[in-house]
Structure 1
Amino acid sequence: MRMLNRGRSRTERVRALLVAAGAGAATLLICTAVSLVDTRNEGSSLTALALTLLALPVAGLVHQANRLASATRERRLAGLRLAGATPRDVRLLSALEGGWLALSGSLAGALIYLITHLSGPMVQVPVVLILVTLSGVVSGARAGRHVISSPLGLVRRSRLRGPRKTDLLLTVAGVGLVVLPLLMTKGYFRIPVPFGGYGLAVSMAAGLVLVLFGVTLATTWLIRLYARRAGRRARSPEMLLAARLVEADPRAWARALSVVSLTVFFAAAAGAQQAGVGAYWHAHALVDLALLVALVTSAVALVVHQAEELIDHQRSFAALAASGVPERALGAVLVRQAFVAALPVCAVAALVGTLAVILPLGDIYQVRWLGWAGARAVAVAGIGVLAAVLVALAARPLLRGALRLDKLRA
């Protein structure tokens, strides 16, 4: 690790600082959220939800930064291979680096929590420290599995994986964990939920996690179908190339947009819940503020993904530029890629987030609230698509660096 970190560029130092800061922020937010959970106080629970919303996009950003790091340390990774390191050793170093950065950042976040919450609960701090550190290790190991280092350099190995039926099963299982406990307590059977309110909260939380993962992965189907349709109806070379690029690897775009879809999902769900519950306006305002910050974090994660995409396709783009394709046309390809991939993802996330609130509360949810919930869902879906397009526009400097003729070298 000392050899790997020797002579790091300013960009890599910033990336390492970003990973550590993200781990620290996630630790601080999760510890604070756990201390605020109170099943007897809906306002405190909503505040805890707002803090959790901030932690999840930060975690996604950290993983994207780890993926990018595996493809930017070419010279030092090749040096390690010349020194006798095996590909397994290189992946192990990536895991150790990810775990070390996560541990150092989470220790700083835990220290800030202990200082600012001297009278609050502390039992969750070591658990959160362990979970954040393990997540850093797993993220570093998984981020390096698509990279093969050799003494001659570094090769990106991306397995193009299409949609899978198990993705839909995750969504169905998540919806069941959310809806069934509510039907047990509010339906005709009146079956008691194990462990009472805490059992209900754990079941619904696990269900929401499965729904989020399921929706993120299942949108691969929609991304591929929409990209295929957009390619067939393309009226410009830029749109055709963008649609074919998205259609070739829809799962990567679904993974990259998972942070945006998470934000859109919770924003739509919060809007549907706010329409039906007028109290706790301060907690609702905090949730909306958390969603705004989460959207900004999602945009940063998309910038990292755009950089990774340009690294993967830099030779193809450089060849197009060398053949006479103007830089402006290639920039339009990036924008259309973001639009084609983000539109189905954000639309499905907004729809599922709204239904996740309306369906369990169908017996008390009034028709006049549907207008606000629907308008909020459409608005947040549009904002998500707009954020993806703006990120593609902001990636023009990265594209300019990928179009240099030296990228054509073997």
Structure 2
Amino acid sequence: MIAVLRMLNRGRSRAERVRARLVAAGTAVATFLVCTAVSLADYDDEGGSLTGLALALLALPVAGLVHQANRLASATREHRLAALRLAGATPDDVRRLGAMEGGSLALSGSLLGAAGYMITHLDGPLPQVPVVVALVTLGGLVSGARAGRHVVATPLGVVRRARVREPLVRDLLLVVAGLGLLVMGGTEQGRSLLPIRWAAALVITAGTVLLLFGVTLAATWLIRAYARRAGRGTRSAETLVAARLVEADPRAWARALSVVSLTVFFGAGAGAQQAVVGYSSAHALVDLALLVALATSAAALVVHQAEELIDLRRSFAALAAAGVPERALGGVLVRQAVLAALPVCVVAAVAGVLVVIVPQLGLGDYRAQWLVWAIVRGGLMVGAGVLAAVLVAVAARPLLRGALSLERRP
């Protein structure tokens, strides 16, 4: 299997080589940030914990961008692997090769990131490095396997199969488990239960990952329900088409918006905490990390938009051939972004505020002005998340134009 993978890698195009370097660089950055966040757990003060949380926030959108890059390249990779189907390979064999490719890129990138951490942190703790490298490599294996699970290589070509996923109680359990780990690693009472000081950062990282997956899965049916309701109550043709497209594939939008929603969640929670304890330099670093995370999340949305246009270019070309102007199709992209991002960002902001405010209510230490500032900050985060999605949709109009021109070619 390894020999086959090496043979296929020698036949990669320039775009695939660039994509492979992007994945390796992304995993290197994520590894460096997580290792640094773990080292900051040695500080008992709140500033050290918040700084570690900020670095963990920066790692998440990078990981999301890497996974989106894997998904965008899955169809191209399957074209190379389709030849193996003629030689008798099964679809599972093809997906296994994809997992090995993703894992090898993650391993090389994580080793590079770990080396960078050890060079720049000679006096810092090192026991967490192999753990982080193993987790990042495992994430690469899972990403490589899952990125192509809906892309099936056959001897006659490559097809995509859609799967409408119904809501499960497991989705909410992941959210609860993630929040519980975040509370354990981020509070003094929770950290007292951990045997090792730097384990708090790993607990925070694990909680963040669980929360990311939980929010992504739970957001699938939230987006579907909101799009269905919006489609029923509108008289606009553009909104109706956008609602039907979002309702047909809510999982893709939930996946693309997962890091955006998590950024909104932490931003709203950080704002509520600032209202309680006051603004500090550590909070300023968290806010900076939120802005960078939002920008990186927007890049992941661009990748998702490109993937969607690849899948829907024939449908859009048919609408254009029927007389629908290109400007109206661009309006469909914008309305899709709003329909998908608005409910997710609102729920994320409310959850972020409640995580901070509810414990204060339980302690009886509550002031009305705290809630006012938390609501204002949460509203700003919702607006920032939706605006990022809308700007990406506007920026994707040249991609739409290119997809339409490609379909018009004889």
1:284 aligns with 2:283: yes
Q: Name the CA shift for 1:110/1:264 in 2 (closer, same or farther; >3 Å).
A: same
Q: TM-score, normalised by structure 2?
A: 0.89
Give the AA of the match of 1:57: P
Q: For this pair of structures, how many residues does the alignment match?
A: 403
Distance (Å, rounded) in 1 between the aligned partners of 2:134 and 2:388: 33
Encode CA deviations 1:60-90: one digit per residue, 9 max, x unaligned. Answer: 1111111111112354233333344332222
- Pick one of 142, 148, 153 that aligns with 1:149: 153
Partner residue, 1:353? 352
Give the AA of the match of 1:335: V
Partner residue, 2:69? 65
Give the AA of the match of 2:172: L
- Pick one of 64, 68, 85 that aligns with 2:89: 85
1:390 aligns with 2:386: no
Partner residue, 1:135? 139
Measured on the aligned residues, the alpha-carbon RMSD in Å equals 2.8
The offset of 1:317, in angstroms, is 1.9
The offset of 1:304, in angstroms, is 1.0
Which structure 1 segments of 5+ residues have no match? 187-191
Give the AA of the match of 1:133: T
Partner residue, 2:376? 375
The offset of 1:210, in angstroms, is 4.3
Distance (Å, rounded) in 2 between the aligned partners of 1:204 and 1:45: 10
Distance (Å, rounded) in 1 between the aligned partners of 2:17 and 2:187: 51
Partner residue, 1:189? none
What does residue range 217-366 of structure 1 map to in structure 2 within 5 Å? 217-278=217-278, 281-362=280-361, 363=363, 364-366=365-367
Q: Name the CA shift for 1:200/1:29 in 2 (closer, same or farther; >3 Å).
A: closer
Distance (Å, rounded) in 2 between the aligned partners of 1:204 and 1:28: 16
Partner residue, 1:103? 107
- The 3-state SS of whatever aligns with 2:124 is coil
The 10-residue stretch of structure 1 (9-18 or 139-148) with the greater mean CA deviation from structure 2: 9-18
Percent of matched pairs sharing the same residue: 71
Encode CA deviations 1:76-107: one digit per residue, 9 max, x unaligned. Answer: 23333334433222211111110111111111
Partner residue, 1:168? 172
The 10-residue stretch of structure 1 (76-85 or 129-138) with the greater mean CA deviation from structure 2: 76-85
Distance (Å, rounded) in 2 between the aligned partners of 1:347 and 1:327: 31
The offset of 1:203, in angstroms, is 7.0
The offset of 1:175, in angstroms, is 5.1
Q: Name the CA shift for 1:220/1:199 in 2 (closer, same or farther; >3 Å).
A: same
- The 3-state SS of whatever aligns with 2:76 is coil
Partner residue, 2:17? 13
Encode CA deviations 1:180-208: one digit per residue, 9 max, x unaligned. Answer: 9999969xxxxx95759889888777666
Distance (Å, rounded) in 1 between the aligned partners of 2:384 and 2:355: 20
Q: TM-score, normalised by structure 1?
A: 0.89
Which structure 2 segments of 5+ residues have no match? none
- The 3-state SS of whatever aligns with 1:155 is strand
Distance (Å, rounded) in 2 between the aligned partners of 1:89 and 1:399: 34
The offset of 1:2, in angstroms, is 3.4
Give the AA of the match of 2:296: T
The 10-residue stretch of structure 1 (245-254 or 106-115) with the greater mean CA deviation from structure 2: 245-254
The offset of 1:167, in angstroms, is 2.2
Give the AA of the match of 2:40: L
Distance (Å, rounded) in 2 between the aligned partners of 1:61 and 1:235: 36
Partner residue, 2:130? 126
Asked whether the 8 Å contact 1:23–1:132 carries over to 2, the reply is: yes
Asked whether the 8 Å contact 1:268–1:376 carries over to 2, the reply is: yes
What does residue range 39-50 of structure 1 map to in structure 2 within 5 Å? 40-50=44-54
Q: Name the CA shift for 1:198/1:380 in 2 (closer, same or farther; >3 Å).
A: same
Distance (Å, rounded) in 2 between the aligned partners of 1:199 and 1:102: 23
1:27 aligns with 2:26: no
Give the AA of the match of 2:262: L
Distance (Å, rounded) in 2 between the aligned partners of 1:136 and 1:407: 37
Distance (Å, rounded) in 2 between the aligned partners of 1:328 and 1:56: 34
Asked whether the 8 Å contact 1:315–1:408 carries over to 2, the reply is: no
The 10-residue stretch of structure 1 (163-172 or 240-249) with the greater mean CA deviation from structure 2: 163-172
Q: Name the CA shift for 1:175/1:114 in 2 (closer, same or farther; >3 Å).
A: closer
Give the AA of the match of 1:106: S
Asked whether the 8 Å contact 1:182–1:360 carries over to 2, the reply is: no
The offset of 1:251, in angstroms, is 2.4
- Pick one of 54, 57, 77 that aligns with 2:58: 54
Q: Name the CA shift for 1:374/1:64 in 2 (closer, same or farther; >3 Å).
A: same
Encode CA deviations 1:280-319: one digit per residue, 9 max, x unaligned. Answer: x111111111111100110011111112212222222222
The 10-residue stretch of structure 1 (265-274 or 164-173) with the greater mean CA deviation from structure 2: 164-173
Distance (Å, rounded) in 1 between the aligned partners of 2:205 and 2:126: 22
Q: Name the CA shift for 1:318/1:5 in 2 (closer, same or farther; >3 Å).
A: farther
